[in-house]
Chains A and B, each alone.
Chain A
């Protein structure tokens, strides 16, 4: 057996305590990243050690809420990886066009930037009215920001560049109104989106999806949890359903690799194989 370092034991015990006390399961997350977040939270929490933090959060739900916020913060942007969106429009959208009703699940949507990116392109390609988008995340705070669709105006420049590189047909400024330091996205983009809390680590399948988006979420999980989640996606996809992962993620090392065929391997777009 590998001998664990004291700090690792402390971290594992903290994650166990969080699970037993509050039901949030971070035990199968990739450790290096979660440890960085925990360590950077120590000084904010006024604790010297991870063990001290464990004691604090066990007795104080308020203290736990602060830690949870730190652990679940995710950074995202609109049209991240423009080449991915170009491939999506070229290879996946034509397949969706054949359907009357299109169900899309965006798993781990965080503060919503990528959900709205997809909504914009579905609108531009005339698909939006046939779609329903289910956008889920583990973090209620992020979901509430996603529902608001209000982002710092200083980010609009980078989003505009991404939008243009991703082959946007209009002018990105048509999709938001700037007020003071903030930009509010067009409300029409929200009409077919349902935001809800869903935990990939323990919740169950979402039925009959034509397209599942889960980009740069799996990298935060260990192999075991990655397999669970890919299994969840497999069971949630309709016939010919498409799965989109982040540019450095792959299903090719998971135990479900044979269930999927490549659609655009360079952009990590996969399609579920026909059941034989």
Chain B
């Protein structure tokens, strides 16, 4: 499918214009590095959203991938620091071996509580706390992965009136996690990575002046 047709298709989606949306939480596991690169290399500078990414990684991972992603995106990619205020135009990556939580005042906090869904960081924890902090102004996205983390949190995002997007399992490197999310949540969109990028660029860009 050409990008043009893709844009037409996405524009036809009957969606509330998400200029009210403020943040996107993304959960990704196995196959995540490639998926995140495809997504973030396509996002435009005027994409008026804050991105919070929870990727399952091993405890000892260094910041290589954060730097790598930062070089490939026009947005600023960094590890989330505790107490940091969440700002639009930034991509925050959960640090390895900590859960990443969103406070009601839209700052980050970290915890070393027990693993959930065999994972720390756990996607559900970030999604659930983000849903409480951002209510309906949140978009939740579940991408490729080999377990069932994320669907519980995606459900919470829907309950609060946010948008739920899942990567089309047919296009996912590992389809288990997206499939599980689609099975357990009434999701709004099932899209490929390229389509998700188009969706975010079209619907969430800075409003034109004048």
A binds B: yes
Q: In the complex the two chains form, is B112's CB within 8 Å of A76's CB? A: yes
CB nearest neighbor in A for B115: A75
Contact A249 B129 (CB under 8 A): no
Closest chain B residue to A215 by CB distance?
A: B112
Q: Cβ of B95: which chain A residues have Cβ within 8 Å of it?
A: 248
Interface residues on A, range: 20 to 34
Residues of B within 8 Å of A, CB-based: how many?
23
Q: A223-B83, A249-B82, A253-B83 are in contact. Are A32 and B102 (CB under 8 A)?
A: yes
From residue 98 to 154 of chain B, which have CB atoms closer than 8 A to chain A?
98-99, 101-105, 109-114, 125, 128-129, 132-133
Interface assignment of B37: CB less than 8 Å from any CB of chain A: no
Is B104's CB under 8 angstroms from A219's CB? no
Instruction: From the candidates A216, A223, A248, name the one contacting B81 in the complex (CB within 8 A).
Output: A248
A220 B111 Cβ-Cβ under 8 A? yes
The listed residue (A32, A219, A223) touching B112 by CB distance below 8 A is A219
Cβ-closest chain B residue relative to A31: B103
Residues B101 and A248 in contact, CB atoms below 8 Å apart:
no
Residue of A nearest to B98 (CB): A248
Secondary structure dominating the interface of A: loop
A7 to B112 Cα, complex, angstroms:
24
Question: Which of A2, A74, A82, A248 has the most C-beta atoms of chain B within 10 angstroms of its own C-beta?
Answer: A248
Interface string of A73-114 (1 = CB under 8 A from B): 111100000100000000000000000000000000000000
* Residues of A241-276 whose CB lies within 8 A of B: 246, 248-250, 253
CB of A179 closer than 8 Å to a CB of B: no
- Contact of A33 with B82 in the complex, beta carbons under 8 Å: no
A256 to B60 alpha-carbon distance, docked (Å): 30
- CB of A33 within 8 A of CB of B113, answer yes
Q: How far is the CA of A32 from the CA of B131 in the complex (A)?
A: 11
Interface residues of B in 56-104 (CB under 8 A from A): 60, 81-83, 95, 98-99, 101-104
Check if A184 is an interface residue, CB within 8 A of chain B.
Answer: no
- Say whether, besides A75-B114, A216-B112, A2 and B81 are in contact (CB < 8 Å): no
Contact indicator B109/A32 (Cβ below 8 Å): yes
Instruction: Please measure, in the bound complex, the distance between the C-alpha atom of A82 and the C-alpha atom of B82, giving whole angstroms.
Output: 22
User: Which of B81, B111, B129 has the largest number of chain A CB atoms within 10 A?
Assistant: B111
Shortest distance from the beta carbon of B62 to any chain A beta carbon, whole Å = 10
Contact between chains at B112 and A75 (CB < 8 Å): yes
Say whether A144 faces chain B, with CB atoms less than 8 Å apart.
no
- Interface residues, chain A, with chain B CB atoms under 8 Å away: 2, 4-5, 7-8, 30-33, 36, 73-76, 82, 216, 219-220, 223, 246, 248-250, 253
Given contacts A30-B101, A250-B81, 6 further A-B contacts (CB under 8 A): A31-B104, A32-B102, A75-B112, A75-B114, A248-B98, A253-B83
Closest 7 CB pairs between A and B?
A32-B101, A30-B109, A219-B110, A32-B129, A33-B111, A216-B112, A75-B114
CB-defined A-B contacts under 8 Å, sample of 10: A2-B105, A7-B132, A31-B103, A32-B104, A73-B114, A74-B113, A75-B112, A82-B60, A219-B109, A248-B95
